[in-house]
């Protein structure tokens, strides 16, 4: 029986294949293609990570739609023999089509027609009805007039509705969602074509559609199966179809349908037996009218919203202090906000009808006119439409003053033409603040002069614009200003600087740039074409070398001509000035540096003078820097040594002390002290170097004293060493480490150092004196405050300067001065040491005067520690050894 059933099925299939080959072939192709698509979509949804869960869900809807559709296609050959027009296979095809439509529509998260559901539905209906009207006129109408089965058209019509409903969503999707959506649309379109061909075949009572129409749907399903696997990870996102195209498609289809209908009427086609076309066309008209009515309501509502928003915007702007006005593209004011009266003093009604250009500064008027032109539809580019136009200008107030303002112009729709909405804000306070900040950035707060940043920029501009001819830079430093802040305070020092700035400003020409460089330094830029002086020659001469030097000398006189009055005290200062001239290939920075180097040279030579930069000055500075670096390395490598020059008692010829002197052997080369001590003082290396000398000398002298030789140690101090932190503690530690008694150590200072930093130096020396250390004034007689210092500071020894000793026996004045110093020392109970004894007659005169001690090349030259050891072992005095 089973075999019989099987034979029957085979016989039925064979009969169908013979009688209706189109249906059988298309059924087989549809089943295979639908099955492939369903499997592909299910696997893709399960294994491949889609962009989102929503996307994966659309794939499953498409898969179930494919299964339902292939089932209907597979059953269609069997159902063809039933007496029903719509068979159960057609129902499955209908359901499958709807499921495919749902999957296609879910490829996008948002509806493409999108302002509202009503808008979406009406647009979809207009599209479907228009397509149906076109198909009816061109294809279905002539066939339908000869048939009597209207239900045959249900499936094609449903397919049209589904396509029109989901097409916007599929086109609005992005990236992979858009690809799968377009593929699904292709499937629906292919199904529609196939069902349209099938319906025509049924209506023509046995007409068989072409085989190609039956293969379109399977081909589309195969395309749908391939799409999920054709994407590439990280691919650039695909742009969605512009909303203007999607919104305009229904109207375009309605227009095409209208053209087709007009052509049909003009061709005189006969009326259809059923009023299908009038009903469809009438429904389209009704829906369009309803759509227009709804859009009109929405437009009115939107206009009201816009007007309300504009009122709120104007109110908000005026509340924030802005002036809001509306004008045309020629600048004629149409409306004026009430804020103009409070801000500029005008009444709003008196400005209406006037041009805004009447109240804008003439220099700013072109920018305002350009902004107004940018608002016109003809000149406005697509980029301009996305933003407002901003312009800054000066506006005349009712009192005649010009006030800076910032305005923002935007397009404003009007009843006849578009206008311009302008919001203006008074920014006088902001501009004043910016100017103040700019002034503070480039000017000195103490003197009011331009600062270093401005001077550097100005020098670069002048050299770039005017060239080199006559351009010079003058640097000035106030000599002796270091002690002003200590004596009268920082406020007094600032007041003195402001007085100096006024004097210097009066000495330079208005065309030249005077700036405060920093501290107590000032700089002047003499531009080419100015003489730097005053009087007739200033207006007609050029800034040659002599005029720059004349200006420099005039600056020196301006500072030193009279004392500065600060805190009821007269303070006399002088100035050191350096001048540098612009040269080919020398940038602005080097020109300024050269003037600074020349000023430093003037200061080294004693101050109150003018120095012109020469190439060797910079070379000297470079050498000093290199020397400082070598000093640093020598200190680490222990290249220094200590030599000792004996100090003898002139009466007994006995060595009473030695003076420690530093020596530097750079490899096998001896570097004289006068070549490196200045650099060591400037760089601060004198502090660690002197500490090393102190520890080394204390250790040697302590060893000699341990050998029953009563000998003392004398050591010179520099200003930087005395003022160094914990200097007193350093001396105390060296004495404790070596075991040398404090009374055996004599520390020497020069008078100039005591005069410059008297208070701090005297305090430090007093602390050393409290330890038991003896103090000596070196180079006595060369200063101008010697007697006052002897009264303030408990000094034990004074050392006569070698310049006095060198004239003994040859210069009566020097001999008299030396005798006076010796007598003064005896009267004060001080030990007097004569330095620089080189001739026998000098020694005899000093003994005759009663000078206590002496040292010099005649007495003994500086020697290493082993030389002092030898002298100690022979028990000879240097004078005896010399004799």
Q: Of the candidates 566, 584, 613, which is a domain's last residue?
A: 613
Under the banding of pLDDT at 50, 70 and 90, the label for residue 27 is low
Average pLDDT of the segment spanning 348-365? 90
pLDDT digits (tens, 9 = 90+) for 538-589: 333 344 688 888 999 999 999 988 989 888 888 889 999 999 998 887 888 8
Residue 749 and residue 858 in one domain: yes
Same domain, 578 and 676: no
Q: Note whether 333 and 312 are within 8 A (CB).
A: no
**Does 597 lie in the same domain as 688?**
no
**Residue 247: predicted pLDDT:** 65
Of 881 and 26, the structure prediction assigns the larger pLDDT to 26
- 528 and 461, same structural domain? yes
User: pLDDT tens across 740-757, in order?
Assistant: 999 999 999 887 776 666
Three-state DSSP string of 37-67: HHHHHHHHHHHCCCCCHHHHHHHHHHHHHHH
Number of Cβ atoms within 10 Å of the Cβ of 549: 17
Q: How far apart are CA 422 and CA 389, in angstroms?
A: 9
Alpha-carbon gap, residue 359 to 351, rounded angstroms: 10
Q: What is the pLDDT of residue 686?
A: 87
| Per-residue pLDDT at 738 exceeds 60 | yes
How many Cα neighbours within 13 Å face the side chain of 322? 17
Residue 11 in this model has a pLDDT that exceeds 50: no
Cα–Cα distance measured from residue 219 to residue 821, given in angstroms and rounded to the nearest whole number: 127
Within a domain: 119? yes
Domain boundary pick from 582, 613, 644: 613
Task: Specify the length of the chain in residues.
Answer: 883
C-alpha to C-alpha distance for 122 and 289, rounded to whole angstroms: 11
Assess contact for 783 and 752: CB atoms under 8 A. yes
Residue 711 inside a domain? The answer is yes
* Whether the predicted pLDDT of 881 surpasses 80: no
The predicted pLDDT at position 379 comes to 46
Answer yes or no: do 607 and 641 share one domain: no
Report pLDDT for 867. Answer: 87
| Dihedral over Cα of 256, 260, 261, 262: its sign | positive
In a domain, residue 218? The reply is yes
Report CA-CA distances (Å) from 258 to 128, 255, 281, 293, 632: 14, 5, 9, 21, 101
Residue indicated by tokens 């009712």: 398
In whole angstroms, give the CA distance from residue 882 to residue 843. 13
**Residue 42 has what pLDDT?**
75
CB-CB contact of 423 with 323 (8 Å): yes
How far from 242 is each of 169, 180, 593, CA to CA, in Å?
12, 18, 66
One domain, residues 679 and 812: yes
Over 70: is that where the pLDDT of 808 sits? yes
Contact status, residue 478 vs residue 575, Cβ threshold 8 Å: yes
Quick one: 637 and 567 in the same domain? no
**Domain housing 668:** 625-882
Q: What is the 3-state secondary structure (H, E, C) of 472-521?
A: EEEEEEEECCHHHHHHHHHHHHHHHHHHHHHHHHHHCCCCCEEEEEECCE
Q: Show the tokens assigned to 119.
A: 């808008």
* 644 against 411, higher pLDDT: 644
490: Cα within 13 Å, side-chain hemisphere? 2
| Dist. CA 856–CA 838, nearest whole Å | 6
Helix axes 175-203, 211-226, angle to 10 degrees: 160
Give residue 528's pLDDT. Answer: 66
Predicted local distance difference test score (pLDDT) of residue 538 = 39
Same domain? 714 vs 836: yes
Please list, in sequence order, all residues whose beta carbon lies within 8 angstroms of the beta carbon of residue 74, skipping any fewer than 6 positions away: 27, 30, 31
Over range 780-807, report the average pLDDT. 76
**Contact criterion met (CB below 8 Å) for 174 and 240:** yes
Closest CA to 429 of 412, 449, 404: 404
How many Cβ atoms are within 10 Å of 557's Cβ, its own excluded?
12
- Does residue 742 lie in a domain region? yes
CATH number, domain of 726, equals 3.20.20.450
pLDDT at 269: 59
Q: How many structural domains does the chain have? A: 4
Give yes or no: residues 402 and 450 share one domain.
Answer: no
Listed residues 613, 648, 664: the one ending a domain: 613
- pLDDT value, residue 19: 44
- Measure Cα distances from 230 to 9, 180, 235, 241 in Å: 41, 10, 11, 21
Residues 646 and 585 grouped into a single domain: no
pLDDT digits (tens, 9 = 90+) for 419-429: 888 888 888 88
Contact present, 622 and 845 (Cβ < 8 Å) = no
Structural domain contains residue 295: no
Flag whether 618 is in a domain.
no
Please say if the pLDDT value at position 873 is more than 80: no
pLDDT band at 13; cut points 50, 70, 90: very low
Q: What is the pLDDT of residues 179-234, one digit of tens each?
A: 777 777 777 777 777 777 776 666 665 555 545 556 677 777 777 777 777 654 44
Tell me which H or E stretch contains 571: strand 569-571
pLDDT of residue 237 exceeding 80: no
With H, G, I as helix, E, B as strand and everything else as coil, classify residue 411. Answer: strand
The secondary structure element, H or E, covering residue 623 is helix 615-637
The pLDDT value recorded for residue 477 is 93
Residue 471 has a pLDDT of 85
Burial of residue 288 (number of CB atoms within 10 Å: 0-12, 13-18, 19+): middle
Q: What is the pLDDT of residues 240-258, one digit of tens each?
A: 555 566 666 777 777 777 7
- Please state the rounded mean pLDDT for residues 5-34: 53
Helix 117-135 / helix 154-172 crossing angle, nearest 10 deg: 130
Mean pLDDT, residues 601-609 taken together: 86
Rg (CA), the chain: 54
781 pLDDT tier (thresholds 50, 70, 90): confident
Give me 686's structure tokens. 């004198």
CATH number at residue 215: 1.20.1070
> 397 phi and psi, to 5 degrees?
-85, 170
pLDDT digits (tens, 9 = 90+) for 504-525: 999 998 888 999 998 899 999 9
Q: From CA 103, how far away is CA 59, in angstroms rounded?
A: 6
Q: At what angle do helices 865-874 and 686-706 cross, to 10 degrees?
A: 20
Does 305 fall in a domain?
no
pLDDT cut 90: percent of the chain above it: 18
Query: What's the confidence (pLDDT) of residue 740?
Result: 92
Cβ atoms of residues 748 and 709 within 8 Å: no
**Do residues 801 and 826 share a domain?**
yes
> Please, what is the Cα angle at 40 between 36 and 45, to 5 degrees?
155
Distance of alpha carbon 452 from alpha carbon 439, whole angstroms: 13
CB 154 within 8 A of CB 172: no
Confidence of residue 125 (pLDDT cuts 50, 70, 90): confident
Q: Which domain CATH number covers 457?
A: 3.30.70.270
Residues 642 and 777 in one domain: yes
Whether 2 is covered by a domain: the verdict is no
Q: In a 10 Å sphere around its CB, with 0-12 CB exposed, 13-18 middle and 19+ buried, how is residue 622 labelled?
A: exposed
How would residue 535 be classed by pLDDT, with cut points 50, 70 and 90?
very low
- Are the CB atoms for 333 and 351 separated by under 8 Å? yes
Average pLDDT over residues 346-353: 89
Other C-beta atoms lying within 10 Å of the C-beta of residue 578: 27
d(CA 691, CA 103): 93
CATH code of 402's domain: 3.30.450.20
Report residue 841 as tokens: 């007659």
């Amino acid at each position: 029986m089973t075999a019989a059933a099987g034979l029957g099925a085979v016989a039925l299939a064979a009969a169908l294949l013979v009688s209706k080959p189109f249906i059988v072939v298309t059924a087989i192709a549809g089943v295979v293609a639908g099955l492939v698509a369903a499997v592909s979509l299910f696997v893709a949804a399960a294994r491949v990570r889609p962009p989102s869960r929503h996307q994966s869900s659309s794939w499953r809807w498409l898969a179930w739609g494919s299964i339902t559709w292939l089932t209907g296609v597979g059953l269609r050959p069997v159902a063809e023999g039933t007496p029903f027009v719509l068979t159960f296979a057609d129902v499955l095809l209908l359901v499958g089509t709807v499921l495919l439509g749902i999957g296609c529509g879910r490829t996008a998260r948002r509806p493409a027609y999108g302002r509202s559901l009503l808008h979406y539905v009406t647009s979809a209906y207009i599209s479907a009805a228009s397509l149906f009207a076109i198909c009816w006129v061109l294809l279905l109408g002539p066939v339908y007039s000869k048939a009597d089965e209207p239900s045959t058209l249900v499936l094609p019509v449903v397919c049209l509705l589904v396509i029109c409903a989901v097409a916007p969503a599929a086109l609005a999707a992005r990236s992979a969602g858009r690809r799968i959506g377009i593929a699904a649309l292709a499937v629906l379109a292919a199904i529609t074509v196939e069902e349209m061909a099938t319906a025509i075949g049924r209506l023509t009572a046995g007409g068989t559609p072409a085989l190609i129409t039956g293969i379109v749907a399977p081909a589309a399903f195969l395309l749908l199966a391939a799409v999920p696997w054709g994407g590439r990870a990280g691919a650039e996102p695909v742009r969605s179809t512009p909303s203007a195209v999607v919104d305009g498609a229904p109207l375009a289809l309605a227009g095409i349908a209208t053209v087709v209908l007009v052509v049909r009427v003009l061709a005189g086609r006969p009326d259809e037996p059923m009023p299908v076309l009038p009903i469809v066309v009438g429904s389209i008209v009704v829906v369009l009218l309803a759509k227009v009515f709804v859009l009109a309501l929405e437009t009115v509502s939107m206009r009201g919203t816009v007007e309300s928003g504009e009122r709120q915007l104007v109110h908000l702007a005026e509340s924030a202090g802005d002036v809001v006005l509306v004008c045309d593209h020629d600048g004629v004011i149409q409306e004026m906000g009430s804020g103009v009266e409070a801000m500029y003093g005008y009444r709003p009604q008196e400005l209406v009808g006037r041009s805004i250009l009447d109240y804008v500064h003439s220099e700013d008027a072109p920018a305002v006119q350009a902004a107004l032109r940018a608002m016109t539809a003809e000149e406005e580019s697509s980029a301009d439409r996305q933003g407002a136009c901003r312009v800054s200008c000066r506006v005349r107030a009712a009192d005649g003053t010009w006030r800076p303002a910032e305005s923002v112009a935007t397009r404003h729709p009007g009843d006849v033409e578009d206008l311009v909405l302008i919001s203006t804000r008074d920014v006088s306070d902001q501009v004043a603040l910016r100017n103040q900040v700019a002034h503070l950035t480039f000017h000195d707060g103490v003197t009011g002069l331009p600062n270093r940043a401005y001077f550097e920029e100005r020098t670069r501009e002048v050299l770039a614009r005017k060239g080199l001819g006559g351009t010079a830079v003058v640097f000035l430093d106030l000599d002796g200003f270091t002690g002003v802040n200590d004596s009268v305070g920082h406020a007094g020092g600032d007041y003195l600087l402001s007085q100096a700035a006024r004097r210097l400003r009066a000495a330079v020409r208005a065309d030249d740039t005077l700036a405060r460089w920093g501290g107590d330094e000032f700089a002047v830029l003499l531009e080419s074409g100015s003489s730097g002086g005053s009087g007739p020659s200033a207006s007609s001469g050029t800034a040659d070398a002599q005029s720059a030097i004349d200006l420099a000398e005039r600056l020196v006189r301006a500072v030193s001509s009279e004392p500065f009055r600060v805190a009821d005290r007269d303070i006399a200062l002088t100035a050191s000035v350096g001048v540098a001239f612009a040269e080919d290939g020398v940038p602005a920075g080097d020109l300024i540096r050269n003037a600074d180097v020349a000023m430093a040279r003037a200061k080294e030579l004693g101050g109150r003078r003018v120095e012109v930069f020469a190439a060797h000055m910079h070379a000297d500075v470079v050498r000093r820097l290199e020397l400082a670096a070598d000093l640093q390395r020598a200190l680490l490598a222990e290249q220094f040594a200590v030599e000792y020059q004996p100090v003898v008692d002139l009466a007994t010829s006995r060595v009473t002390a030695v003076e420690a002197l530093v020596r530097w052997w750079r490899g096998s080369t001896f570097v004289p002290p006068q070549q490196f001590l200045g650099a060591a003082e400037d760089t601060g290396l004198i502090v660690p170097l002197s500490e090393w000398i102190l520890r080394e000398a204390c250790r040697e002298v302590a060893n000699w004293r341990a050998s029953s030789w009563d000998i003392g140690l004398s050591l010179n101090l520099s200003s930087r060493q005395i003022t160094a932190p914990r200097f007193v503690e350093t001396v105390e530690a060296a004495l404790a480490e070596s075991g040398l008694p404090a009374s055996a150590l004599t520390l020497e200072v020069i008078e100039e150092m005591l005069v410059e930093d008297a208070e701090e130096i005297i305090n430090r020396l007093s602390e050393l004196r409290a330890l038991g250390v003896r103090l000596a004034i070196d180079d006595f007689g060369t200063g101008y405050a010697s007697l006052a210092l002897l009264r303030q500071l408990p000094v034990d020894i004074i050392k006569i300067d070698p310049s006095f000793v060198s004239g003994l026996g040859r210069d009566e004045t020097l001999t008299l001065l030396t005798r006076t110093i010796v007598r003064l020392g005896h009267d004060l109970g001080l030990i007097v040491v004569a330095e620089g004894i080189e001739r026998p007659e000098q020694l005899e005169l000093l003994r005759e005067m009663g000078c206590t001690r002496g040292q010099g090349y005649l007495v003994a030259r500086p020697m290493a520690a082993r030389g002092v050891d030898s002298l100690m072992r022979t028990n000879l005095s240097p004078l005896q050894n010399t004799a």
